[in-house]
Amino acid sequence: MRSEPTLRHRLVAVGCLALASASCGNNPYPDSEGSKKVLYTSFVDAPRSLDPAVAYTTSAHAITGNVYDTLLEYHYLKRPFELIPGLAKSIPEPEAIAGGRVRYRFDLRPDLVFAEDESFGLGGEGRRTRAIESQDFAFQLMRIADPAVNSPVYEPFSSIEGFGGFRERLGALRAEEEGFAGLPIREQYQRAGGVAGIRTPDVSRLEVILAEPYPQLLYWFAMPFTTPVPFEAVEYWNGEGDRERFADHPVGSGPYVVASYDKEAKIVLEANPNWYGVQHPEWKAPGATYPSEGEAGDAEAGRLDPQTVGQPLPFLERVEFIRERESIPRFNKFLQGYYDASGIAKESFDSVVLEDRISPEMAARGIELAKTVRPAVYYIGFNMDDPVVGASATASGRGLRQAMSLAIDSREYARLFQNGRGVPAEGPLPPGLFGYDADYQNPYRHVDLERARLLLVEAGYRGGVDPATGEPLRLTFDTSDTSPQGRLRFQWFVNQWRKLGIDVEIDATNYNQFQEKVRNGAYQIFMWGWVADYPDPENFLFLLTTPMARSVSGGPNTANFQNAEFDALFEAMETADNGPERAATIAAMRELLERERPWIELFHPEDYTLFHDWLKNVKPAGISNPTMKYRDIDAGRRGEQREAWNEPVLWPAGVLAVLFVAALVPGVRTYFRERQ
C-alpha cells in the first residue's frame, strides 16, 4: 500500500523547490569550464566535407584551416598580406631550369608528426601517429589531380609538369584494368607513375617543377588544399562498416584536432599536443609564435600587447562550434556572453552600429567591433560582345558605358542595401592587395549626371533616346536573383539610369536559366562578384583577359572584354615581383579599364564582427586564413561579465513557495485537528 507523504516531507519538498528555483541559471556550459581558455562560437550548417582536397567554403576552412597545417601561411597582422614559413623552413625561391621550367624546393622542419589517430594502426598494431614526410605532401597533390577526388582546385596546379598526364593515366587504368580501382590508393598512384613535376629526393624535401612560371602557386601552399595527408587515413576512413568517411574524419598536422564532430549539434576542436609549435616552442617559428609587428593601428587595438608578443601558440585550449540556425537567438546568446564573437543580426544592426562605429550601449558592455574588407569586388558588367553596349559599338558603346557608370552611386547603394558595409570600388583591386591605391579616384565612378548626359549626346543617344526608334534606348539587365529583395536592388540601378532617359528592363530568371543565357551570349548587363583565392592582383586582373573570356574559353571573364593592350600589360605584370615596375603596370591596366568601362565597379564588401573585450588578438583576415591559434581568452573577465549579465531571477521562486505553502495549509490544519 502506497503511503501518503508526511507533513515533514512536504515542507522539505517546498524548501528544495525554492532552493532549486533560486539557484537556477541559464548558463549552457558546465561550471567547471569557467576558468578554461575555451572559445565558444556557432555555425548554421556543417560543412559538406572536411577533405582538404575538396573543402572550398568558409565554413569548411574554419575547421580545416586549424586542423591541417601548410608549408606556408600568411603573417597574421600585416597588410598587404605577406607569406611566412609554416611547415617549411623558409619560403622557396623560384629556380629557372631547362626548357623554361621553374623549380621550387621546400625543406621541411624536422620532427614533424601527425595528430594521433587509429588509422596509423595500418602501419603496425598499436601505432597512433608517425613522422610527416615529403611523400605526404606529394600524396595530397596527387589527390588533387585524381579525377575521383574531384578537387575544385585542379586547374591552378595544372601548371605542374606532368600533372594532367598523371590524371589521364589514372583515369584510363581505372577504366581499362580490371581490379585496378580496388587497389589501395597509394598503390594506384604508384602504378600510374606519379607526377613528373612532384619529386621527393628525401623525406625532408619536396620539389615542385612547373612547366612555365606561375609565381602565384606559392599562395596555394598556404591553403589547406596542399596540406600533408597520411595515406593511412584515406585508406582507413573509407565509410565501410562502422568507419566514418575521410571527409568527416580529418587527420592533420595543425594546432588543433577535431575532438568531436556532431553535424547536428556541436563541433569541438582541441589543442594538438603533437603540433610542432607545442613540441618545439624554442624554435620561435614564425607560424608558431605570436608576431612582434603588424600594420598601423594594431598596437592601438591591443594586438601587439608586450605580454603576448613572442609567445608560443596556440593560446586557446579548445574551440566549440555550436549549431544555431536562427540569427536572433544566436545574437541574444552573444549578448549574454555565451558566445565570444558574433556577426550582427540584420534586425539589430541599427541599434548596434551607429555612424560606422559601435553604439555607446554596446561599448559600455565591453563589446568591440572589428571591421575587415574582404579581398573581393562586386560590379555591374557589360557583355562586350553585344552590338549595343559592347566593343563593336566602338565610340558609341564606350560613351554609353561611361555615362551609365557616372549614374551609379556605390556609397548610396551600400547605405540602402548593405547597412553601409562596403568600400566603394574605384577599380578591380580591393584594399590589402599589392597595387591597390587608396588615393586613386576613378573619374567615371563618381556621380555626375550632367557629364553623363553630354557623353550620351556624343554617343548618339541624346536624352537617352535611341535614334533608330525615336524612343528611350531599351537595354536588358539579366540576373539570377528572383527574390523580392533582389528586385528592389536591381530596380534601384534601373531608376538611376532612368534619370538619363535610358530604359533598362530587369530580366530575372533562375540560376540555371541565367547560366544558359550567359553560355549563349544572350545578355547585355549583369551584376557579378569575385572573391580572391589568394591576395595577389593577378587573381583579379586575369578576370578581364582575352583567354578567360566566356565566349572564348568559357572562363570567368563574363564581360567578354578582349583588349590586346590589356593582355600585353597583364602578361608583363603576371610574373613580375612586387615593386615599382609592377605597380606602374597595374596603374596602366587600371587606366585602360577606366576608359573602356567593361565593368561598373561597385564595392569591396566589408565584414563586421562583434566580440567581447575578453577575446584578445582579434583581427579578421577576410580570406580563408586560420586565426584560432592567435586568439586568447581572459576567462576570469568572461566569468564576471556572464554572472553580472545573467543574474538568476528570484521572485518566481518566492511566488512558487508561497503558492505551495498556501496549498498545504488545509492539510496542516487537518493534521493537528486529528491529533487533538
Alpha carbon distance 11, 386 (integer Å) = 86
- With a cut of 80, say whether residue 8 has pLDDT above it: no
Lowest mean pLDDT among 392-396, 487-491, 600-604, 618-622: 618-622
- With a cut of 60, say whether residue 46 has pLDDT above it: yes
**Contact call for residues 447 and 600 (beta carbons, < 8 A):** no
Confidence band, pLDDT 50/70/90 cuts, at residue 669: low
Exposed e or buried b per residue across 507-523, where buried means at least 16 C-beta atoms within 10 angstroms of its C-beta? bbeeeeebeebbeeeeb
pLDDT tens per residue, range 433-481: 999 999 999 999 999 999 999 999 999 999 999 999 999 999 999 999 9
Peptide bond into 314 cis (omega under 30): yes
Share above pLDDT 90 across residues of the chain, in percent, rounded to a whole number: 82
Cell of 289: 609564435
Alpha carbon distance 111, 530 (integer Å) = 40
pLDDT at residue 240, rounded to an integer: 92
> Which run of H or E residues covers position 477?
strand 474-479
pLDDT at residue 390, rounded to an integer: 96
Evaluated on CA atoms 450, 451, 452, 456, the torsion sign reads positive
pLDDT at residue 675, rounded to an integer: 56
Neighbouring C-beta atoms of residue 464, cutoff 10 Å: 20
The residue that leads in pLDDT, 602 or 26, is: 602
Q: How high does pLDDT run on average in the chain?
A: 91
pLDDT tens per residue, range 25-45: 678 898 888 889 999 999 999
Phi and psi at residue 8, in whole multiples of 5°?
Answer: -60, -40
pLDDT at residue 22, rounded to an integer: 42
Lowest mean pLDDT among 86-90, 241-245, 581-585: 241-245
Confidence band, pLDDT 50/70/90 cuts, at residue 356: confident
Cα-based torsion angle of the residue sequence 197, 202, 205, 206 in order, rounded to the nearest 10 degrees: 20
Cell numbers 609587428: residue: 293
Alpha carbon distance 553, 75 (integer Å) = 36
- With a cut of 80, say whether residue 486 has pLDDT above it: yes
The pTM of the full predicted model, rounded to 2 decimals, is 0.87
pLDDT at residue 2, rounded to an integer: 43
Q: For residues 123-139, give the mean pLDDT.
A: 92
Alpha carbon distance 252, 631 (integer Å) = 20
Lowest mean pLDDT among 8-17, 78-87, 173-182, 413-422: 8-17
Give 605-662 as a DSSP string. -EEEEEEETTEES----SSS---GGG-EE-HHHHHHHHHHHTPPP-HHHHHHHHHHHH
Cα 275-278-279 angle, rounded to 5 deg? 85
Cell of 270: 582541441
- Alpha-carbon Rg for the chain in angstroms: 30
pLDDT at residue 23, rounded to an integer: 43
Share above pLDDT 70 across residues of the chain, in percent, rounded to a whole number: 92
- With a cut of 70, say whether residue 412 has pLDDT above it: yes
